[in-house]
Amino acid sequence: LLTYEQFLQNIPSMLESIPFQRILSERKNKFENAIVVSAGPSLAKQLSLLKVYQDKAVIFCADGALSMLEKEGIAPDYVTNLDYSDWPIK
């Protein structure tokens, strides 16, 4: 629960950061759609459909699903992860 609280507290800083603003401006008006991919039992069933639409949407991928996408030749635009360690607490 603490990880989510910290993540939510960091959202304003992330939105104001220069790298994040650059990413948003580079992607503005490029695609109207986004696909969020995460690891799970239904991912394998969706890979063929994802391959068809990979050039028609921005793909955000959780790091746990990345290797499966790479095996299928699908390149996500962004890969995300959350680090669940106690380090930020100290």
Q: Is residue 90 part of a domain?
A: no
Q: Is residue 60 part of a domain?
A: yes
By residue range, what is the domain housing residue 13? 1-30
Q: Is residue 47 part of a domain?
A: yes
Q: Is residue 40 part of a domain?
A: yes
Task: Indicate whether 17 and 39 sit together in one domain.
Answer: no
Kindly report the CA angle at 27 between 38 and 66, in degrees rounded to 5? 25
Task: Indicate whether 37 and 53 sit together in one domain.
Answer: yes
Task: Indicate whether 24 and 55 sit together in one domain.
Answer: no
Task: Indicate whether 23 and 58 sit together in one domain.
Answer: no
**CB hemisphere CA count around 5 (13 angstroms):** 4
Task: Indicate whether 21 and 37 sit together in one domain.
Answer: no
pLDDT tens digit string along 54-88? 988 889 999 999 999 999 999 998 898 876 665 55
Q: What is the mean pLDDT of the chain?
A: 83
Report, as an integer, the average pLDDT of 22-26: 77
Question: Would the pLDDT of 89 be above 60?
Answer: no
Q: What pLDDT band is residue 15 in, cutting at 50, 70 and 90?
A: confident
